[in-house]
């Protein structure tokens, strides 16, 4: 895949019907999703539990686009290989998820998958400055990780602006995760973000049996973000 900064919408399946992942994934992709975002939680790094490698492997069979696996687990290093083998196209890990983020990013790339580093709302942008050359993506969390449906934390906008300047012309995506809606998407898109994760704002109002609202939700997010991009894309 060639690099560009076009707006990409990545629905988080944390907001999907947990009894029907295959059809939910196919529904959001048919309705225009660019990536599928998988939130992995361990009940330790974050206060919630979700998907082990066998679940992610089962999702993989249904993902035709790009499977972005957000690991909210600590320690993270012992599980990188298993999630890569489960079929992740990209694995992202939090700065705080182990003692050596540089080594973690090297380990992700060594598996032949794309690598991402994640900044919690309280983590300064400078925490990733010296690992950018090991990253295909930096994820700026705009909620505290653990749950969908939380309110957007506005300090992520200025953080995104600073990160965008720090990245310069390196081919690194800026992803935003948490509280992304048609109201908040333009704020982060104008600041330089290009990949927008959205759980509740994509899945609200629809279902695998009635997927049209997913399409309308994805189009609303994309239009709101693109409207402020000017020539940045
Ligand atoms: C939170 C997760 C998010 C979450 C986003 O820990 O990383 O991906 O599902 O959900 P919304 O879009 O509802 O804030
Ligand atoms: Zn996420």
Q: Residue 84: inside a domain, yes or no?
A: yes
Q: Residue 1: inside a domain, yes or no?
A: no
Domain hosting residue 171, numbered range: 8-228
Q: Note residues around ion ligand 2 (Cβ under 5 angstroms).
A: 39, 70, 177
Q: Please report the sign of the dihedral spanned by the C-alpha atoms of residue 139, residue 141, residue 144, residue 149.
A: negative
> What average pLDDT does range 43-68 have in this prediction?
98
**What is the token pair recorded at 203?**
């899945």
pLDDT band (50, 70, 90) for residue 35 = very high
Q: Residue 3: inside a domain, yes or no?
A: no
The pLDDT value recorded for residue 230 is 74
Active site residues: 39, 177
Q: Residue 128: inside a domain, yes or no?
A: yes
Q: Residue 22: inside a domain, yes or no?
A: yes
The pLDDT value recorded for residue 2 is 86
Q: Residue 27: inside a domain, yes or no?
A: yes
**Ligand 1: residue whose CA is nearest its atom 9:** 148
Percent of the chain with pLDDT strictly greater than 70: 98
The pLDDT value recorded for residue 156 is 98
Percent of the chain with pLDDT strictly greater than 90: 97
d(CA 35, CA 73): 21
**CATH code at position 97:** 3.20.20.70
Q: Residue 2: inside a domain, yes or no?
A: no
Number of domains in the chain: 1
CB-based contact 13:25 (threshold 8 Å):
yes
């Amino acid at each position: 895949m060639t690099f560009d900064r076009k707006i990409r919408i990545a629905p988080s399946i944390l907001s999907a019907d947990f009894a029907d992942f295959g059809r939910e994934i196919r529904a959001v992709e048919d309705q225009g999703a660019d990536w599928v975002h998988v939130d992995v939680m361990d009940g330790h790094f974050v206060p919630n539990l979700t998907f082990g490698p066998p679940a992610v492997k089962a999702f993989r069979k249904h993902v035709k686009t790009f499977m972005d696996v957000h690991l909210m687990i600590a320690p993270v290093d012992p599980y990188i290989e298993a999630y890569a083998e489960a079929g992740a196209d990209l694995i992202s890990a939090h700065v705080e998820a182990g003692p050596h983020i540089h080594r973690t990013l090297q380990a992700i790339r060594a598996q032949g998958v794309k690598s991402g580093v994640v900044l919690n709302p309280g983590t300064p942008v400078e925490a990733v400055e010296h690992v950018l050359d090991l990253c295909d993506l930096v994820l700026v969390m705009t909620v505290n990780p653990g749950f969908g449906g939380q309110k957007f934390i506005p300090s992520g906008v200025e953080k995104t602006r600073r990160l965008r300047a720090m990245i310069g012309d390196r081919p690194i995506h800026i992803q935003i995760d948490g509280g992304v809606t048609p109201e908040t998407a333009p704020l982060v898109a104008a600041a330089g973000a290009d990949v927008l994760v959205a759980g509740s704002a994509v899945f609200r109002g629809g279902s695998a049996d009635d997927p049209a609202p997913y399409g309308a939700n994805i189009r609303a997010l994309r239009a709101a973000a693109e409207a402020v991009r000017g020539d940045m894309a």
